[in-house]
Chains A and B, each alone.
Chain A
């Protein structure tokens, strides 16, 4: 339940509700959408990316001197887990056609397509369990232009406008053009899409969509897709080998500058393994667990940007790594679920963000960066936020409107996960609004790819959230679910094709030595060792006791990987 002091504000929300319901029933927007100039002003004034310390130039690697998100620059200016001269590359522990790093939606799609189209064998190496990925958590839906009033080109325009016209056009075309085919592919694998009576796909709005284009599986969309893909992967044990709790920590190159596999690290036994692969796919997802600018995150436990740093050390270029997506509606209260995602589909279905006086202050379906910035502005500048007992702040997201608009029981039926999450704390979201604030959600940029998922490095492919270019500097809702399906499939196709013809040379980790030299030449002194693999949530006093180990050496899989927020003596 909400604390007593919020009752007055809740009363105001109830008071303004009938009028707002009336507005919502009309065809016009409930609040005027922003024009280009207004969008620019709210972004520059209030988006966390525009704070002075949000970015800094990176001093090493392919993007040297480019301004990146500060935490990303820190991540990249770090040491490897490995010393090249200590690894014997002559006798690989495993060999395969295609090594897939990451067992989320992109990785599973790639393995299936490589197998089906090319008869290619693959290994999926994943840090936690297969499916422990942001894919599992996408609630609201997947965009695809399937309805009669819509078209793939209209989807293209919405996506590129949402990304402020900075998206790579050929990637957006691939995304939107492959969309309908992906819906069919998933349906044939057994994904149960929400449907209308006549069999047509149920479509909803998302932020920045000009047509209803959001397809869903209740609010377990990602879970449904992920479990279907995983189940199908596991139906082919002879072709796809899954190695769980085996994250990659470095890429392996050959003497001709081609990617030739990776070094895996067993979280159980703390051994390193050499995997030689004809082609390699990075499908490691995003970086929410770096808690950029101290924000809570909606991301899964392993989202530490591992693929970024591995690819960067090997020489792959990053794109738009100065841009972070904060989801407009993360939970602000109750404390136990702070930062958790409240699906954008709540606003798609008619939910409205309101200030403490129960008034609308923004069109509910602006693109995410705009909506999030407007919420921050309302709290920071206009004093319209409601403080929580633990010192957070939030605005209301008026969900009771949804049942009023679509009929009683709609919220319960269509948003069972959301309903469950709040009812545990005595909040019935069909009767009471949710208290929300932006939460760190998505890595807009990543490793630059083309429409074949190729990078600067032959043999290295990237798909899904780890890539950069597709979404420009702002992704729209539902385009990431489509992204990992479209580009996961493309990666399987093109990496499979490449694996059939490449003849690898001598394996090498020389790029690690080069990188170390570059760090030294730039005068960088750091004790950060990456990939980070897992964040640490041990309290500070616990961490200090853990760090009594001689030289503060990294104890295997234990807590100290996350040094970004660490306050070690002498660090």
Chain B
């Protein structure tokens, strides 16, 4: 019962619905998945290549679109001493690549009551003291698949500059690669989550209209209009809908 939508007339075998191999000739390239040799389509993502090889991923795939950080991957390329990092769902395979997925990085999250913390350096000192071990080697920044300035936000954390930590770590997907590579064994993403929460909780500028609106709802300001709308028949509701003005 395979059906193919107009938009997807040909599934390449890169993470697609039916997992069919394309009838289009694909160029296959050699890679090594955890030490075992496979031939996979050139142009596949690492995740697509692992699945093409027939693996059922259990740990190591989440959102598959670069938001969840489940698919951290380490790899090397032939003739190159460097360790490279990437998200498997976002990184393309390269000829001769040898890779391993790192879907979990051991790290201890601090347990805290946000109501009892202050949005300054004291929270960092108390909850994530390892931050002060930073040797400013910049390995974290180099290993970030999101291209974030990780070391800069660690430096900001040391100064208690919560707003900068929030801003620089905003797009962090918590893949854990920085904390795996860090020679000072800092848990950067976990600290950054706390810092973002501290910013949202304490350093935000409050919205006066939000407070008013919450109060208005609680005091039943909209009750009568709700009752009216909810009792309308479909025709009247439709008329009201299509006649509404737009901002």
Using a CB–CB cutoff of 8 Å, the interface residues on chain A facing chain B are: 35-36, 48, 53, 70, 74, 128-129, 131-132, 136-137, 145-149, 151-154, 156-158, 160-161, 165, 169-170, 173, 177, 180-181, 183-184, 187-193, 195, 198-201, 205, 210-212, 217-218, 220, 222-224, 227-228, 231-232, 234-235, 237, 245, 267-268, 291, 293-296, 298, 300-301, 330, 332, 335-341, 376, 379-380, 390-394, 416-417, 420-421, 424, 437-439, 534, 536-543, 545-546, 557-559, 564-565, 567
Asked whether any CB of chain A lies closer than 8 Å to the CB of B186, the reply is no
Task: List residues of chain B with CB within 8 A of the CB of A391.
Answer: 9-10, 24
Asked whether any CB of chain A lies closer than 8 Å to the CB of B90, the reply is yes
- Closest Cβ of chain A: how far from B16's Cβ, in Å? 7
A336 to B14, Cβ gap below 8 A? yes
- Closest Cβ of chain B: how far from A374's Cβ, in Å? 14
Task: List residues of chain A with CB within 8 A of the CB of B211.
Answer: 184
A sample of 24 cross-chain residue pairs with beta-carbon separation below 8 angstroms, ordered by A number, consists of A128-B62, A152-B222, A157-B229, A158-B244, A160-B241, A161-B237, A161-B241, A173-B230, A181-B217, A191-B200, A220-B170, A222-B67, A223-B173, A224-B170, A227-B196, A234-B109, A293-B3, A336-B43, A338-B16, A376-B7, A391-B10, A534-B58, A540-B19, A542-B54
Asked whether any CB of chain A lies closer than 8 Å to the CB of B25, the reply is no
Residue in chain A with minimal CB distance to B104:
A129
Asked whether any CB of chain A lies closer than 8 Å to the CB of B225, the reply is yes
- Closest Cβ of chain B: how far from A292's Cβ, in Å? 9
A192 to B5, Cβ gap below 8 A? no
B238 to A227, Cβ gap below 8 A? no
B230 to A227, Cβ gap below 8 A? no
- Closest Cβ of chain B: how far from A79's Cβ, in Å? 18
Residue in chain B with minimal CB distance to A197:
B205
Asked whether any CB of chain A lies closer than 8 Å to the CB of B80, the reply is no
Which residues from 201 to 218 on chain B have a C-beta closer than 8 Å to any C-beta of chain A?
A: 201, 204-211, 213-214, 217-218
- B43-86 interface bits toward A, Cβ cutoff 8 Å, 1 = contact, 0 = none: 11100100111111111011111111010000000000000000
Residue in chain A with minimal CB distance to B211:
A184
11 new A-B contacts at CB < 8 Å, known A192-B170, A539-B52: A128-B70, A136-B62, A180-B210, A192-B200, A195-B204, A199-B204, A199-B205, A223-B173, A237-B111, A390-B22, A538-B56
Interface of A is mostly: mixed
Asked whether any CB of chain A lies closer than 8 Å to the CB of B133, the reply is no
A156 to B19, Cβ gap below 8 A? no
- Closest Cβ of chain A: how far from B77's Cβ, in Å? 17
Number of B residues with CB within 8 Å of any CB on chain A? 94
Task: List residues of chain B with CB within 8 A of the CB of A394.
Answer: 7
**CB within 8 Å for A148 and B209 given contacts A190-B114, A231-B109, A390-B24:** yes
Using a CB–CB cutoff of 8 Å, the interface residues on chain B facing chain A are: 1-22, 24, 43-45, 48, 51-59, 61-68, 70, 90, 92, 109, 111-114, 146-147, 166, 170-171, 173-174, 193-194, 196-201, 204-211, 213-214, 217-218, 222, 225-226, 229-230, 234, 237-238, 240-242, 244-247
Task: List residues of chain A with CB within 8 A of the CB of B65.
Answer: 137, 298, 337, 340-341, 421
Which residue of A146, A268, A539 contacts B21 across the interface (Cβ within 8 Å)? A539
B67 to A210, Cβ gap below 8 A? no
